[in-house]
């Protein structure tokens, strides 16, 4: 089987498994991205996310992370759902970021990735490599760009003409040489809606985000009390934030998710409508079992909920 046919078989299988896009890039050191990441870290834009600076050599070069790697297969999986459009502009109800309203994407996509890996191994009679879903030092956004799946938007999210930015990114790094895709061009133009909409000015310049000011960081990654100056700006975001994505024109045209497990859970939406009334640690664990929201633990969620309830009074 020639390289072109093999590449197409893998792409077709990825789409049949429920992924919405699949691209291929040559495994190599990302020198430009390494320079930008190093500068971002030096400026302490990562806040308490110390892990962003760990394993720097592996993060910028997949051949160090996966010895013998020749190809990075980058995949996108949409989580966009019709109910998401109805949530835009809601101000009287606590909001959970749209990506976290369904099942934990790590588990959902890891299973799909393993199926794709096994399929590829069967095609070629053996394969070495690893699969990743936001779980290792991999520059997933950079690889999505290299694989031609989108461009970096001014809010630093990857944008795709068909999917907007409502998607997860996953990778399969393997020791198989394939046909490689070319990066696409930037289609943000003069638009700066995401920059203008951010209430904390976290997007300090186009394509650059200061995590320490980002509502998603403050409500998920930040430990301890949240600085009083950000309380009002957090508005009704109890976990994460979608403001810069909600205003993006490309998201108004985004196709819907195929994978049902990534659809919002109705019980989460219903609980939000009641402002999570009477929610305690046990009921929190039950409500968000198998959900990304568990990342904050009850202590973090309770902290966020107290701020949001104050804003809604």
Q: Note the pTM of the prediction, 2 decimals.
A: 0.94
120 is in which domain, residue-wise?
A: 3-80+104-174
- Give the chain's domain count: 2
On whether both 199 and 116 belong to a single domain, the answer is no
Domain-embedded: residue 118: yes
Mean pLDDT of 294-313: 96
pLDDT band at 51 (very low <50, low <70, confident <90, very high): low
Share of the chain above pLDDT 90, in %: 85
On whether both 47 and 160 belong to a single domain, the answer is yes
Our answer to whether residue 270 is catalytic in this structure is: no
Domain-embedded: residue 152: yes
On whether both 17 and 139 belong to a single domain, the answer is yes
On whether both 141 and 249 belong to a single domain, the answer is no
On whether both 149 and 117 belong to a single domain, the answer is yes
Of the candidates 20, 33, 134, 179, the residue annotated as catalytic is 134
Give the tens place of pLDDT for each residue, 112-168.
999 999 999 999 998 999 999 988 889 999 999 999 999 999 999 999 999 999 999
Give the tens place of pLDDT for each residue, 252-279.
989 999 999 999 999 999 999 999 998 9
On whether both 165 and 278 belong to a single domain, the answer is no
Domain-embedded: residue 90: no
On whether both 154 and 256 belong to a single domain, the answer is no
On whether both 146 and 207 belong to a single domain, the answer is no
Domain-embedded: residue 161: yes
Select from 174, 201, 226 the last residue of a domain. Answer: 174
- pLDDT at position 6 is 96
Longest dimension (CA), the chain: 65
On whether both 212 and 300 belong to a single domain, the answer is yes
């Amino acid at each position: 089987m020639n390289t072109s046919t093999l590449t197409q078989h893998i792409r077709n299988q990825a789409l049949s498994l429920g992924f919405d896009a699949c691209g291929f890039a040559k495994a190599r050191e990302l020198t430009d991205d390494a320079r930008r990441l190093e500068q971002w870290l030096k400026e302490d834009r990562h806040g308490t996310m110390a892990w962003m600076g760990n394993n720097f050599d592996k993060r910028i070069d997949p051949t160090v992370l996966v010895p013998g790697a020749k190809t990075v297969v980058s995949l996108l999986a949409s989580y966009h759902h019709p109910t998401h459009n109805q949530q835009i502009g809601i101000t009287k109800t606590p909001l959970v970021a749209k990506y976290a309203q369904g099942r934990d994407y790590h588990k959902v996509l890891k299973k799909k990735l393993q199926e794709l890996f096994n399929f590829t191994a069967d095609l070629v009679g053996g394969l070495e490599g690893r699969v990743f879903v936001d779980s290792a030092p991999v520059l997933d956004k950079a690889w999505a760009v290299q694989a031609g799946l989108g461009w970096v938007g001014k809010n630093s999210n990857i944008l795709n003409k068909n999917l907007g930015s409502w998607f997860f990114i996953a990778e399969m790094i393997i020791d198989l040489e394939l046909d490689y895709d070319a990066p696409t061009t930037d289609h943000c133009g003069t638009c700066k809606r995401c920059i203008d909409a951010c209430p904390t000015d976290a997007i300090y310049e186009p394509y650059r985000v200061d995590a320490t000011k980002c509502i998603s960081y403050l409500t998920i990654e930040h430990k301890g009390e949240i600085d009083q100056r950000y309380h009002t700006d957090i508005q009704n975001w109890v976990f994460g934030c979608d403001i810069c994505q909600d205003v993006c024109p490309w998201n108004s045209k985004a196709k819907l998710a195929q994978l049902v497990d990534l659809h919002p859970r109705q019980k989460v939406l219903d609980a939000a409508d009641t402002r999570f009334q009477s929610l305690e640690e046990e009921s929190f664990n039950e409500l968000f079992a198998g959900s990304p929201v568990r990342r904050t633990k009850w202590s973090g969620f309770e902290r966020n909920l107290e701020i949001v309830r104050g804003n809604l009074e």
